[in-house]
Amino acid sequence: MANRTIMAAGNWKMNKTPAEASAFVEGLKPLVAGATTEVVVGVPFVALSGVLAAAKGSNVKVAAQNVHWEANGAYTGEISCGMLKEMGVEYVIVGHSERREYFGETNEMINKKARAILNAGMLPIICCGETLTQREQGVTAEHVRYQIKVALLGLSAEEMMKSVIAYEPIWAIGTGKTASDEQAEEVCAIIRQLLVELYGTEVAETTRILYGGSVNAGNAKVLFGMPNIDGGLVGGASLKHDGFTAIVLA
Ligand code: 13P
């Protein structure tokens, strides 16, 4: 079995002003300095500059929460990969269920974003996950496989191994209702099996697959200990030092 570095990635969503964000990362740095986990904070666009400055020289890596796939042009309100790359951003979260639900993002758009992120020399964290209805209908595996298969179209094996997939069941996001370790593991294993089919064993064993959905200090250790779960994409619990640090050190 490949030696995959566990990743603890915070997704702050629409929280913290630029000043709050920088101060948070200044305070976080000493708390996670000794972590063997890869530590990532996913911050609002306007906080990136300050957070990148605060994180400089530390083991805290910085992610954006979204990006547009075009290099430039008449796309009012959008941000390009070139803009993020120049700032020093390493990761970009794409395809979060909130982007899909509230902003109409499709699998095809997520595929274009992943392509653009990799072309720019950054790495995508590609999200997927089923609704409660889909779970109850028994179509979770089909749904997640479809989402991921389209999102990955055209990505090479080398690009795949550097990219990150995050499985986030929508019914577990912000609800306090975590998927059980068996439920989370089952779907992450299905995603890894898809990677075997698409890319072969080596790529599948190297690519990291995170779980997201009400991850907290209490459940992180068990979740991250499952064979196919390589860390977490953390919303609410990533907004506080104690909660996030406990997850990073789990
Ligand atoms: P919560 O951890 O708040 O459930 O959010 C999960 C999530 O959506 C991370 O991207």
**Residue 178: what pLDDT?**
83
CA pair distance 97, 112, nearest whole angstrom? 17
pLDDT of residue 66: 98
**What is the mean pLDDT, run by run of 10 residues, along the chain of 250 residues?**
89 98 98 97 98 98 98 98 98 98 98 98 98 96 98 98 98 87 97 98 98 96 97 98 97
Q: Which residues are catalytic?
A: 96, 168
How close is the Cα of 97 to the center of ligand 1, in Å? 10
Find out whether 217 and 8 touch, Cβ atoms under 8 Å.
no
**Is 105 inside a domain boundary?**
yes
Domain with 214 in it: what CATH number? 3.20.20.70
- Distance of alpha carbon 153 from alpha carbon 111, whole angstroms: 7
Quote the number of domains for the chain. 1
- 78 lies in some domain: yes
Rounded to 10 deg, the angle between the 181-199 and 140-151 helix axes is 40
8 A C-beta contact, residue 110 and residue 72: no
Is 195 a member of any domain? yes
DSSP conformational letter for 89: -
Q: Is residue 27 part of a domain?
A: yes
pTM, 2 dp: 0.97
The answer to whether position 2 is within a domain reads no
196 occurs within a structural domain? yes
- How far is residue 20 from each of residues 48, 120, 249, measured CA to CA in Å? 12, 29, 23
Do 170 and 97 form a contact (C-beta atoms < 8 A)?
A: yes
Question: What is the C-alpha to C-alpha distance for residues 167 and 42, in angstroms, rounded to an integer?
Answer: 16
- Tell me which residue range forms the domain holding 55: 7-249
Report yes or no on 1 lying in a domain.
Answer: no
Residue ranges around ligand 1 (CB below 6 Å):
11, 96, 168, 173-174, 212-215, 233-237
